[in-house]
Amino acid sequence: MNEPIFEPRILSSGIRDVRFGQNVRVVQPVNLYECAIGDESFVGPFVEIQRNVIIGNRCKIQSHAFVCELVTIGDDCVISHGAKFINDPFVIGGPAHGDRRLWRRTRVGNHVSIGTNSTILPVSICDHVVIGAGAVVTKDITEPGIYAGNPARLLRRLNPNNTAETTVNVPFVDLNAQYRTIREDIDRAISAVIAESAYIRGPHVEGFEGAWADTVGVKHCVSCANGTDALLIAMRGLGVKPGDEVITAANSWISTSAMITQTGGRVVFCDVDPVTFTIDPAQLESKITSRTVGIIPVHLYGQAADMDPIMAVAERHGLWVLEDCAQAHLAHYKGRMVGTFGAAATFSFYPSKNLGAYGDAGCIVTNDDQLADWMAAFARHGGKNEHVMEAINSRMDGLQAAILKAKLPHLPEWTKARRRVAWEYDSLLKGIGDVETPQVGAWRDHVYHLYVIRTERRDALKAHLGAAGIATVLNYPKALPFYPAYAYLDHKPEEFPVAYRNQSRILSLPIYPELPSDMLHHVTDQVGRFFNGS
């Protein structure tokens, strides 16, 4: 049997009933019908413009763009390669509805640039807007600015008069950006806790304790209310008593030293290493007296302290080591996870930490069975049924545990993302003014809880960045020995030259896994402008 042969109808021109203004240039082949294109506009090859579309003057419609019915584009616009408009609102979910009574209009203002391969749903876009490549615009845009992403959101505001940048707000951290990526998991975890009324202890808390102990590679995780309590509970477990001396770093958050005092011990500060800001092992021995019982190294900003020499000093003098890992989830030293070196280690899950709860939470990890039992009893009223001692109530809520457990699988990828942000900062800030970017000590891998630069012009730079909408933080405004809380120790700057010098030079720049590259560039551009005086 002969196959039927269908002859295609070849149209001599893909242009039908188009109203062209003056000096319009069109590169064939195109498919343009029943539309209007204003003066001096350009239409590239493989463009489709459907009926009732109106395109203003001096517009550039680049190759492969698709402009559907009910779209109106103002003057001086650029519709880049492969950009497409959609007029079907997909009202019932599913595929395009096809019912033209439901189609909705799209209006694009003047001076709008729509990026390559972006998708514009039926919306209204005001004048002076830039839509980034690949963006999906799902809502009306009423403010001049640069928009990107899916769904598109404002990255920078633009000043319509000269289209120069005005305020770009770069937050120090954006916890909501992370929530948006895992919303379903988090909402499900919260709902489960509520459905089960598992608010205190219970399967979610135990589940997270087990998962975190496995992640760190230790036998026990004793959860508690926050990282500060974790230090207190651990030190009580290690037997600190009035008059005992505990050595810790001069650069840290105050919880580390404050909890030494709360156990009745005496704080002994040690200066830090000039490269990593972590406790300087070379100075440890000079701080040891007959009353010294332990050392608390802090893995500051996300980088491990130099554990080998610290452990060696501790061993020589019969001291315990308690690692403060509040800022260093998943950081390694010589390939080994922080939290596995000392007798115990503490973590904070404060919301902005690398693994953060939606409120306060913390824990202690250890391989010591007896210590773990004692700490668990101490944190929970001295034992549930039989109160073996007077103690405290410091528990991790079921809600926080469920949230942490839902977030835990993402921690490795978030850590990688933090490193990528840090490395991009490193390369873009290289050679600018006197800026020193964070240095990573030998055998360590930084997890960049904070990205802390140093410059002699710190205060002026902070003010400049603030004026450019960039949030920065001082971690910390003073080295611990110089806070009023430690005035009683009467320390002098020359006792802690590195920590003292750092306090006027350090500046933490915004860092979080989802920090958009545009925002990062805004930060580095502004640092450059500050030092180049432009």
Where do contacts with ligand PLP occur on this chain (CB under 6 A)? 226-228, 252-253, 255-256, 298, 324, 326-327, 348, 350, 360, 362
The token duo for 354 is 């690398």
End-to-end CA distance of the chain: 80
Supply the minimum distance, in Å, between the C-beta of residue 375 and ligand PLP.
16
Supply the minimum distance, in Å, between the C-beta of residue 221 and ligand PLP.
15
Q: Which residue is nearest to ligand PLP, using beta carbons?
A: 227
Count of CA atoms in the C-beta half-sphere (13 A) of 5: 2
Supply the minimum distance, in Å, between the C-beta of residue 477 and ligand PLP.
14
Q: Which is nearer to ligand PLP, 70 or 259 (CB)?
A: 259
Classify burial at 449, counting beta carbons within 10 Å of its beta carbon; exposed 0-12, middle 13-18, buried 19 or more: buried
Q: Return the residue matching tokens 């700490």.
A: 375
Rounded to 10 degrees, the C-alpha dihedral 400/401/406/408 comes to: 110
**Residue 249 CB neighbours (<10 A):** 28
Q: Tell me the helix, strand and coil percentages in the chain, rounded to 5.
A: 30, 20, 45
Q: Which is nearer to ligand PLP, 82 or 227 (CB)?
A: 227
Rounded to 10 degrees, the C-alpha dihedral 120/124/129/134 comes to: -10
Q: Are 46 and 83 in contact (CB under 8 A)?
A: no
Q: Which is nearer to ligand PLP, 80 or 215 (CB)?
A: 215
Q: Which is nearer to ligand PLP, 152 or 375 (CB)?
A: 375
- Cβ-count burial 179-213 (b if 16+ within 10 Å, e if not): eeebeebbeebbebbeeeebeebeebbebbbebbb
Q: Which is nearer to ligand PLP, 62 or 327 (CB)?
A: 327
Supply the minimum distance, in Å, between the C-beta of residue 283 and ligand PLP.
19
Supply the minimum distance, in Å, between the C-beta of residue 328 and ligand PLP.
9
Q: Which is nearer to ligand PLP, 193 or 260 (CB)?
A: 260
Q: Which is nearer to ligand PLP, 68 or 232 (CB)?
A: 232
Following DSSP, what letter does each residue of 78-101 receive, concatenated? EE-TT-EE-----TTSSS----GG
CA angle 508, 156, 144 (to 5 degrees): 160
Supply the minimum distance, in Å, between the C-beta of residue 250 and ligand PLP.
13
Q: Which is nearer to ligand PLP, 228 or 508 (CB)?
A: 228
Supply the minimum distance, in Å, between the C-beta of residue 262 and ligand PLP.
12
Q: What are the start-end ranges of the H helices in 451-492? A: 458-467
Supply the minimum distance, in Å, between the C-beta of residue 298 and ligand PLP.
5
